[in-house]
Chains A and B, each alone.
Chain A
Amino acid sequence: MSREDIQTGLAEILEEVAGVTPADATPEKSFTDDLDVDSLSMVEIATAVEDKFGVAIPDDELGNIKTVGDAISFIEKNQG
């Protein structure tokens, strides 16, 4: 799956979980600082990512994902 497709899928998840406007879900955006997504919502995003992309994000890795771009890279790297 291309980075573009991953970004689109992730934007859907962010809208569903945290009410983020899809146009705002761009790679440089910080989850906590720019998109008002807290650590519990990050857990819900990780669960939804696993459902949608088949990529599991363990809690310790989740702590390293600060931006939308970080999430896209993680999914791209761990795709089956």
Chain B
Amino acid sequence: MTQIQLPTVAPGARILGLGAYRPRRRVTNDELAQVMDTNDEWIQSRVGIAERRWASEDETLVEMAVAAGGKAIAASGLAPDEIDLVIVASASLRAPIPGIGPQVAHRLGIPRPGSFDLNAGCAGFCYALGVANDDIRAGSSRNALVVGVERLSDVTDQTDRSTAVIFADGAGAAVVGASDEPGIGPVAWGSDGDQHNAIEIAAGSSTMTMAGQAVYRWATTKLTQTLFEAMEKAGVGPADIDVFAPHQANLRIIESMTKKLGLPASTVIARDIIHAGNTSAASVPLALTALMESGEAKSGDLALVLGYGAGLTFAGQVLVLP
């Protein structure tokens, strides 16, 4: 009987480079106050956002993914033809056919990689990173490009203050490659499909609604165990975490999670939401690149990341910053 032979597994995988793209147009709270019943003080105290970026017509999902992906590839030191897997995490495609992964790969000069889009709401980037990590460690791919990209402004009712002040646009990307020591821990992921309509574009509608209180309660009570699970799976504890970068959904959720983790006072907490808004699958890589650009986070730092949102879905892991 012929036996299937498997490739040699890699001892680990790590992030080789990060890249980000933020749309040109900044939208302040005062600007939103002109078109809906809200104000700067209310938005800042409830969500923690001071301004957000909305994509212009030329800043399409593909363009933003290519921009962020290109920077991640440059930062990695790899040539495009060394990449054989491209995963694009997004929940805001205007049309499902075609998925945009292959086009993004083509634009970046990556020749015929395995490529697919991944929709796991705001957990998409962490889900995709988990898949890429395992694929490389299994020996199925050499190097992967993982992109989180959203144009949530396309699917937001600009008159609904419960969503229009929160959701925003952007792209973040990571190149992942094999390494002698693990640089990404196993993903701790899951879903709570009983709350599938807590964040949704309802049938017959073209814009998102969110049950804010229910999602806030879920995020501040049900995800603590996932954060601890992600650390346990990587064999680390809160005292080892240098950077905490959860999905930038709401500043109060970030503060609540930080308190529950018992992280050392020296841990750097990502608060990119203040200037970026909630960018769903793009928010974790945008938050990581912001911290590295400012110097608050350094190469070699141990980061704990967590995506969570529509589905409801959640995924987190520990990773070493490139």
* Chain A interfacial positions (CB closer than 8 Å to B): 38-40, 42-44, 46-47, 59, 62
Does A59 lie within 8 Å of B256, measured CB to CB?
no
* 17 additional contacts (CB under 8 A) given A44-B220, A46-B217: A38-B45, A38-B46, A39-B212, A40-B46, A40-B212, A40-B213, A40-B216, A40-B250, A42-B213, A43-B213, A43-B217, A43-B220, A44-B256, A47-B220, A59-B213, A59-B214, A59-B217
Does B213 lie within 8 Å of A47, measured CB to CB?
no
Q: Is the interface of B mostly helix, strand, loop or mixed?
A: helix
Closest Cβ of chain A to B116, distance in Å, is 36
Does B213 lie within 8 Å of A39, measured CB to CB?
yes
* Chain B interfacial positions (CB closer than 8 Å to A): 45-46, 211-214, 216-217, 220-221, 250, 252, 256
Complex CA–CA separation, A42 to B214 (angstroms): 11
Q: Is the interface of A mostly helix, strand, loop or mixed?
A: helix
Chain A residues with CB under 8 Å of B211's CB are 59
Complex CA–CA separation, A45 to B217 (angstroms): 10
Does A40 lie within 8 Å of B214, measured CB to CB?
no
A-B contact count (CB 8 A): 26
Does B46 lie within 8 Å of A47, measured CB to CB?
no
Does A43 lie within 8 Å of B45, measured CB to CB?
no
Does B213 lie within 8 Å of A62, measured CB to CB?
yes
Complex CA–CA separation, A43 to B213 (angstroms): 7
Measured CB to CB, the nearest residue on chain B to A41 is B252
Closest 4 CB pairs of A and B: A43-B217, A43-B216, A40-B216, A59-B214
Given contacts A40-B46, A40-B252, contact A47 B214 (CB under 8 A): no
Chain B residues with CB under 8 Å of A62's CB are 213
Partner among B45, B212, B221, B250 whose Cβ is within 8 Å of the Cβ of A47: B221
Complex CA–CA separation, A39 to B250 (angstroms): 14
Complex CA–CA separation, A46 to B220 (angstroms): 12
Measured CB to CB, the nearest residue on chain B to A62 is B213
Complex CA–CA separation, A47 to B214 (angstroms): 12
Chain B residues with CB under 8 Å of A42's CB are 213
Closest Cβ of chain A to B13, distance in Å, is 37
Measured CB to CB, the nearest residue on chain B to A46 is B217
A-B contact list, 10 entries, CB within 8 Å = A38-B45, A40-B46, A40-B213, A40-B250, A40-B252, A42-B213, A43-B220, A44-B256, A46-B217, A59-B211
